[in-house]
Chains A and B, each alone.
Chain A
């Protein structure tokens, strides 16, 4: 920690991902976005980058659980008949004549892609917009569990990941974006978004975060199950 204007401010990665104050946030890794049979796959989008990150997200999730880091699942959700869409949001979502029907509530496409599975005690936050802070209880859940820092993973980089990361900083959380655990359907957009996001918060590789969590686990008793 360093002191700025008399306030304690996190300095190194170990402090930024301290298991006692950190949540791993898994954003939108759902069949409709990542699985070949899902919405993006069926309309021919390039899934390769999102597929590449999956094993690393699985490893990060496992490390978080072992270190007692709170895990939060963010899930894009559409309600039938556009019940969660405002007129302006419908315009935003519509490229042709109708907006895409993805992640419909209760559908296979809305579900998280195997083998990613929430466990009891890992809250699922459903959202109807890009940012996980808009129209959700995410902030309340984080506050209730004295979380100060978010480790962000998921898809898509320039959409829900970037929106959530920026909002997190405005809600006064530290943000660490896991460089090798975010992806999208367009590598050029990914690169552009990563440049913009890197001016806003910390980036780290999943292996470096896992090493910090392993170190913290060796130092203190496991907190897993305490929540």
Chain B
């Protein structure tokens, strides 16, 4: 039995990261690159849905009262000059951005650390769905995207990154990460993927087989 499927993994499409009233923008960060990336990612999501791919929505989550932070992690966050409290449980900022909400038949998980696989539940769901290939889109490039891509590659997934569906608030670190990513993943565009996913079954490349 073929159990070799492609999953579109979307990480960080939440109000705090992508919305003008979210935590990043409120902290004075420039979310322009993120806003410009959203339409291409929405088209990618629509193409994945049309092709019947697995869709996995990953949302950052912080429990109130520091319950999900170790001392080491709290210290790192403080030292890294973050945007303060983000993705706090039961807040509007933690919720998915409009247009990026999971459908009932899609997978949705939370993560306490930047890598999407930090909650081991994610890998159980991916294994159960037969995903062997991950297409990773999200924010921010040098944080959640990089951590997810490296982690997934080290756990033996084939990883593809559409370069026009990742973004961050630091163009310098975005560019530096883009230079690093080919070590771990195949860099493509959302248009490449959409073409592959919509092609008839016989002509599909490894990245775009129709999933049953």
Contacts and interface: CB of A to CB of B under 8 A. Distances in A.
A46 to B, nearest CB: 31
Interface residues of B, number: 26
Given A83-B128, A140-B112, A141-B67, A126 B121 contact: yes
Interface stretch (A34-42, A130-138, A185-193, A204-212): A130-138
A140 B118 contact: yes
Interface string B70-88: 1101000000000000000
A118 interface: no
A123 B128 contact: no
B67 A84 contact: no
A137 B127 contact: no
B188 interface: no
A81 B105 contact: yes
Given A81-B105, A87-B1, A137-B112, A128 B124 contact: yes
Contacts of A127: 121
A143 interface: yes
Given A83-B125, A86-B128, A140-B112, A134 B120 contact: yes
Contacts, number: 66
Top 3 A-B residue pairs of the complex, sorted by shortest distance between their CB atoms: A135-B124, A144-B70, A86-B128
Interface of A: 79-87, 89, 120-121, 123, 126-129, 134-137, 140-141, 143-146, 227
Contacts of A227: 65, 67
23 contacts: A80-B104, A82-B128, A83-B107, A83-B125, A84-B125, A84-B128, A86-B127, A87-B1, A126-B121, A128-B124, A128-B128, A135-B120, A135-B121, A135-B123, A135-B125, A137-B119, A137-B120, A140-B118, A144-B69, A144-B70, A146-B70, A227-B65, A227-B67
A168 B63 CA distance: 23
